[in-house]
Amino acid sequence: MRIAIVDDHKLLTDAIALALKDMFDESQLLIFNNPYTFIDSISDEMFPDIVVTDLLMPQMSGLELISTIRTITKNVAKVIVLTSVSDAQTIRQALRNGASAYISKDASLIELPEAIHEVMNGQEFISPILQKNLIKSMFTEDKHIYYLSPREKEVLKKICTGMTVKEIAYEMNLSAHTVQTYQKKIMKKFKVNRTADLIVFALKNGLYTVSVR
């Protein structure tokens, strides 16, 4: 696995690389203190699997870098944002631009390997410390109770358990297209654009409860 770390603070990139080296000893770690240098290093044959980047860099906005990575690598590289920026608007914009995970620099570095494992398995990750801000911003303006059909409730529950569209379709004996249609309808009702936001909404509003075993 190739992991690129992009941040203008060399001490931070060195510290992150040192931490990841112990946890992912067989991975290739690449450090860049300038986003343009990183972009120039990308080739068709050598896409990074993971890119860990800050948002506040003097050379280029991290939000712009996320979009550029998404375009150049054709969504192959998974972007993990590691930043001190914690407002909900920026978090949502980073996710819309293509980030797969968003971690606060105020959180423990233990969250970074957890985020890497999640995104490499096709999941999304947001620091728990940031989820409260995200939830408040997304849902304090609208307290309506939304009606879900029995089918939509069932699809929502399975989405919240982490099942993929194909897995849900197989279990419910539906086509993948039908499941995707249900998901789009639910997301439209809740005014969210991403699966991670949908799950957060369901948990916050009591539409899904995590079972503790």
Spatial distance between the Cα atoms of 212 and 172, rounded to a whole number of angstroms:
24
| Euclidean distance between CA atoms 19 and 16, whole angstroms | 5
User: What is the greatest pairwise CA distance in the chain?
Assistant: 53
Q: What superfamily does domain 2-140 belong to in CATH?
A: Response regulator (3.40.50.2300)
pLDDT of residue 151: 84
DSSP state of 209: -
Q: Residue 192 and residue 175: Cα distance in Å, rounded?
A: 23
> Which tokens go with 69?
């990575």
Of 54, 47, 89, which is closest to residue 72 (Cα–Cα)?
A: 47
Residue with tokens 């080739």: 43
Phi-psi region of 4 (alpha: psi -120 to 50; beta: other; left: phi over 0): beta
Q: What is the pLDDT along the chain (213 residues), one digit of tens a residue?
A: 999 999 999 999 999 999 898 888 778 999 999 999 999 988 766 789 999 999 988 888 899 999 999 999 888 899 999 999 888 878 888 998 999 999 998 887 789 999 999 999 989 999 988 887 776 665 544 444 456 777 888 899 999 998 999 999 999 999 999 999 999 999 988 889 999 889 988 887 777 776 544
The per-residue pLDDT for 64 is 92
Task: Please state the φ and ψ torsions of residue 50, each to the nearest 5 degrees.
Answer: -130, 140
**CA within 13 Å, CB half, 125:** 23
Query: For domain 150-205, is the CATH number 3.40.50.1100?
Result: no
Q: Which residues contact 146 (CB under 8 A, 6 or more apart)?
A: 189, 190
DSSP structure string for 7-62:
-S-HHHHHHHHHHHHHH-TTSEEEEESSHHHHHHH--TT---SEEEE-S--SSS-H
pLDDT number for residue 205:
75
Domain boundaries, the chain: 2-140, 150-205
What CA–CA distances, in Å, run from 55 to 84, 119, 124, 171, 194? 8, 19, 18, 40, 20
Residue 131, pLDDT score: 84
